[in-house]
């Protein structure tokens, strides 16, 4: 398979912007797409701000930032994906949304263009089945935040060909990250382990075993975790945490994966964590304050 020189990224949120950033810094041209010009603009600002922080830490210089930003072009027109070598979908963690995206873009792409999804939990085989190229479809699951996290999970669907897998593995190496291979099971490896831990922390809060502060302090100081599980849930987004737990619960039919009712209640309230300024912490004052 030919070298990957141009990538279309669908979704300009935190994950999509992060993917665009690391690929542009590796010398790859990027088309960053979303459903509105405003979201694309916010994604580009996010990338530029992140690279400014890299300059402050002396990890890159201004020339490197400018060259990388010049490689990223925003577009709301998916027809411009026609000359891309790879499309990476990084939209919201909804199978319905992802299926619609892949169904709609396939007719616009070259026949040899690869497709990838950044899903953190959904079946690669099922997503590939709605495309016209399941053999060129693969899961490339970057960790959040993409620029800082070293790991990438590669997940093959039942039809994924070796050439697609090797091209994806080569891309991750080019980005300076470490790839691990997961079988196509619900939530793969990292989230299969991590999200039930977070869900159990929410149950611990729900049952009154400890407060938000006590639970997070316990795991930071007692298990040496860099951040507490409830703080981490807010960072990931409580809607995403719930989506992954639902995939695990439905896909594995085991009651141990049942989403905590308190998690459901917070999502129903629109308290999704940092992105809405309220979750297990209230961020509106600038200082995180536990909500329980």
- For residue 270, give its domain range: 190-290
Asked if residue 194 and residue 176 are part of one domain, the reply reads: no
Q: Are 60 and 54 in contact (CB under 8 A)?
A: yes
3-state helix, strand, coil in the chain (%, to 5): 50, 15, 35
The whole-angstrom separation of Cα 214 and Cα 19 is 34
What's CA 216's distance to the chain center, in Å?
Answer: 23
Asked if residue 260 and residue 174 are part of one domain, the reply reads: no
Asked if residue 176 and residue 138 are part of one domain, the reply reads: yes
Give the CA angle between residues 11, 98, 111 to the nearest 5°.
90
Asked if residue 147 and residue 36 are part of one domain, the reply reads: yes
Tell me, what's the pLDDT at 3?
Answer: 84
Total Cβ atoms within 10 A of residue 237:
22
Residue 148 lies in a domain: yes
Q: Are 171 and 86 in contact (CB under 8 A)?
A: yes
Q: Is the pLDDT of residue 119 over 80?
A: yes
Sequence-ordered list of residues with C-beta below 8 angstroms from that of 288, at least 6 positions apart, any chain: 231, 281, 282
Q: Are 154 and 140 in contact (CB under 8 A)?
A: yes
The whole-angstrom separation of Cα 115 and Cα 104 is 13
**Mean pLDDT across the stretch 265-291?**
96
Q: How confident is the model at residue 1 (pLDDT cuts 50, 70, 90)?
A: low
Catalytic residue among 121, 191, 199, 243: 191
Asked if residue 215 and residue 100 are part of one domain, the reply reads: no
E-assigned strand segments in the chain: 6-10, 29-33, 72-75, 86-89, 114-117, 137-142, 151-156, 178-182, 281-282, 289-290
Catalytic residue among 46, 121, 123, 153: 153
Query: Active site includes 141?
Result: yes
Return mean pLDDT, the chain: 96
Domain count for the chain, please give it.
2
Residue 1 lies in a domain: no
Catalytic residue among 118, 141, 182, 199: 141
Residue 63 lies in a domain: yes
Give the tens place of pLDDT for each residue, 212-248. 999 999 999 999 999 999 999 999 999 999 999 999 9
Beta-bridge mates of residue 72: 30
Asked if residue 233 and residue 117 are part of one domain, the reply reads: no
Last residue of a domain, one of 164, 182, 200: 182
**Mean pLDDT across the stretch 251-280?**
97
Tell me, what's the pLDDT at 120?
Answer: 92
* CB neighbour burial string for 205-229, b if at least 16 within 10 angstroms, e if fewer: beeeeeebbebbebbeeeeeeeebb
Q: How confident is the model at residue 16 (pLDDT cuts 50, 70, 90)?
A: very high
Direct distance between the N- and C-terminal alpha carbons of the chain, in angstroms, rounded to an integer: 53
Percentage, residues of the chain above pLDDT 90: 98
Total Cβ atoms within 10 A of residue 89:
22
Asked if residue 55 and residue 38 are part of one domain, the reply reads: yes
Residue 112 lies in a domain: yes
- Three-state secondary-structure class, residue 258: coil
Asked if residue 168 and residue 213 are part of one domain, the reply reads: no
Could you check whether the bond before residue 145 is cis, i.e. omega within 30 degrees of 0? yes
Residue 36 lies in a domain: yes
Residue 207 lies in a domain: yes
Asked if residue 170 and residue 194 are part of one domain, the reply reads: no
Tell me, what's the pLDDT at 10?
Answer: 97
Total Cβ atoms within 10 A of residue 148:
10
Asked if residue 150 and residue 25 are part of one domain, the reply reads: yes
The CATH number assigned to the domain holding 197 equals 1.10.1040.10
Asked if residue 166 and residue 285 are part of one domain, the reply reads: no
Beta-bridge mates of residue 30: 7, 72
Residue 256 lies in a domain: yes
Query: Active site includes 153?
Result: yes
- Three-state secondary-structure class, residue 48: helix
DSSP 183-252: -SSTTTTHHHHHHHHHHHHHHHHHTTSS-HHHHHHHHHHHS--SS-HHHHHHHH-HHHHHHHHHHHHHHH
CA distances, 210 to each of 80, 205, 229 (Å)? 52, 6, 13
Give the tens place of pLDDT for each residue, 90-108. 998 899 999 999 999 999 9
The whole-angstrom separation of Cα 278 and Cα 275 is 8
Catalytic residue among 118, 120, 199, 243: 120
Q: Is the pLDDT of residue 270 over 70?
A: yes
Last residue of a domain, one of 166, 182, 198: 182
Q: Is the pLDDT of residue 2 over 70?
A: no
The model carries a pTM of 0.90
């Amino acid at each position: 398979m030919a070298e990957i020189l141009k990538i279309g990224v669908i979704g300009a949120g935190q994950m999509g912007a992060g993917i665009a950033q690391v690929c542009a810094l590796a010398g790859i041209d990027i088309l960053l797409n979303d459903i509105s010009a405003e979201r694309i603009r916010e994604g580009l600002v996010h990338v530029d701000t992140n690279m400014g922080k890299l300059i402050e830490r002396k990890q890159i210089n201004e020339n490197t930032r400018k060259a990388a930003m010049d490689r990223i072009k925003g577009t709301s027109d998916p027809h411009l994906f026609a000359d891309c070598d790879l499309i990476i979908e990084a939209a919201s963690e909804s199978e319905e949304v992802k299926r619609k995206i892949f169904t709609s873009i396939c007719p616009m792409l070259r026949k040899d263009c690869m497709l990838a999804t950044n899903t953190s939990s959904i079946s690669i085989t099922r997503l590939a089945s709605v495309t016209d190229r399941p053999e060129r479809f693969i899961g490339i699951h970057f960790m959040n935040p993409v620029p800082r996290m070293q790991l990438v999970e590669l997940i093959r669907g039942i039809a994924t060909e070796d050439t697609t897998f090797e091209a994806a593995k080569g891309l991750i190496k080019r980005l300076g990250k470490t790839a691990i291979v997961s079988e196509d099971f619900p939530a793969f490896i990292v989230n299969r382990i991590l999200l039930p831990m977070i869900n159990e922390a929410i149950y611990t809060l729900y049952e009154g075993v400890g407060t938000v502060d006590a639970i997070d302090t316990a795991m930071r100081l007692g298990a040496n975790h860099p951040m507490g599980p409830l703080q981490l849930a807010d960072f990931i987004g409580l809607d995403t945490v719930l989506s992954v737990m639902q995939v695990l619960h439905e896909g594995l039919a085991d009651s141990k994966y049942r989403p905590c009712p308190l998690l459901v209640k917070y999502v129903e309230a629109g308290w999704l964590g940092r992105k809405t300024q309220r979750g297990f912490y209230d961020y509106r004052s600038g200082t995180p304050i536990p909500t329980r």
